[in-house]
Amino acid sequence: MESAETPRARLGPLVHRSVHQGAILFLLGSIEFLLGMAVTQVGYGPPAYSLTQNYISDLGATKCGVFHGATSLVGHYACSPWHVVFNASIVLLGLLLIFGAVLVRSAFPPRRSRNIGLLLLILAGIGAMGVGFSPEDVDIAVHSISAFLAFSASGFALIVLGFAMFRDTRWDGFRAYSILSGLLTLVALVLFASKVYGPLGVGGMERLIVAPVLLWAIVVGVHLLRIPAFAPRSIPKPTGT
């Protein structure tokens, strides 16, 4: 019988094979989106795209003209001939984030914080898809709501998932990292919404919202792929007499 002095059991160190599949989706989603932004920036303009003065969403504008940002009524010019690349990449990011969140579920201890955190990650994926399907020059209202959903849900998701990692040896070293990444996203979101950009500019502050989540998906994806997966045991066939 377990005495009162015996510490509670900690889970680990294997994961189900579906977790590896979800980890791959996290990696693919983040990397293809970063590449999608980089490619779209090459074909942007004129004038050339500014990482500090342009919104990320300017990359998805379907025509050249003056548009409104997600937090400003002051018009700004955007011209992104390769907008299809950006919009497709962010929609794909949302899809991969949603399916990835479902597949990595068993990598977390079965508790309420896991379910809430993964649900928030799914909502972030839905928000990302909404951004791609509703560019800023097509429907600014839906675009703004989708962007806010993606930003806020992803930040809260990382915080909640950080707490969901407790008492699981598979996540040693990742709890504080996840929580701090989520906090950084939310702090940057508050500054962005308050129009406090500092030397980063509007584009740099917006990237400070997105970067922690994308980096987290890459780091966690690599980490999960390094954890051995369950190997199904072979069931011996009954021998006849």
The answer, yes or no, to whether residue 146 has pLDDT greater than 70, is yes
pLDDT value, residue 116: 97
Q: Is 238 exposed, middle or buried (0-12, 13-18, 19+ CB in 10 A)?
A: exposed
The pLDDT value given to residue 1: 43
Flag whether pLDDT at 185 surpasses 70.
Answer: yes
Lowest mean pLDDT, pick from 3-7, 48-52, 212-216: 3-7
Per-residue pLDDT of 97-106, as tens digits, reads 999 999 999 9
Q: Domain boundaries in the chain?
A: 17-226
| Mean pLDDT calculated for residue range 177-195 | 97
Report the chain's mean pLDDT, rounded to a whole number: 89
* pTM attached to this predicted model: 0.86
- Mean pLDDT score, 131-159: 95
Could you read off the pLDDT of 12-34 as tens digits, one per residue? 578 888 999 999 999 999 999 99
Contacts of 75 (CB under 8 A, 6+ apart): 66, 67, 68
Nearest to 63 by CA among 48, 41, 78: 78
AA identity, residue 229: A
DSSP secondary structure code for residue 170 in this structure:
G
Please list, in sequence order, all residues whose beta carbon lies within 8 angstroms of the beta carbon of residue 110, skipping any fewer than 6 positions away: none
Q: Do residues 158 and 212 touch, judged by C-beta distance below 8 A?
A: yes
Contacts of 97 (CB under 8 A, 6+ apart): 25, 26, 29, 121, 122, 124, 125, 128, 217
Residue 241 has pLDDT above 50, yes or no: no
State the average pLDDT over residues 123-151.
95
* CB within 8 Å of 194: residues ≥ 6 apart: none
Check whether the bond before 232 is cis (ω within 30° of 0).
no
pLDDT attached to residue 167: 85
Segment 47-84, tens digit of pLDDT: 999 999 999 999 999 999 887 655 454 678 899 999 99
What whole-number distance in Å separates Cα of residue 214 and Cα of residue 147?
A: 15
Give the pLDDT of residue 12: 57
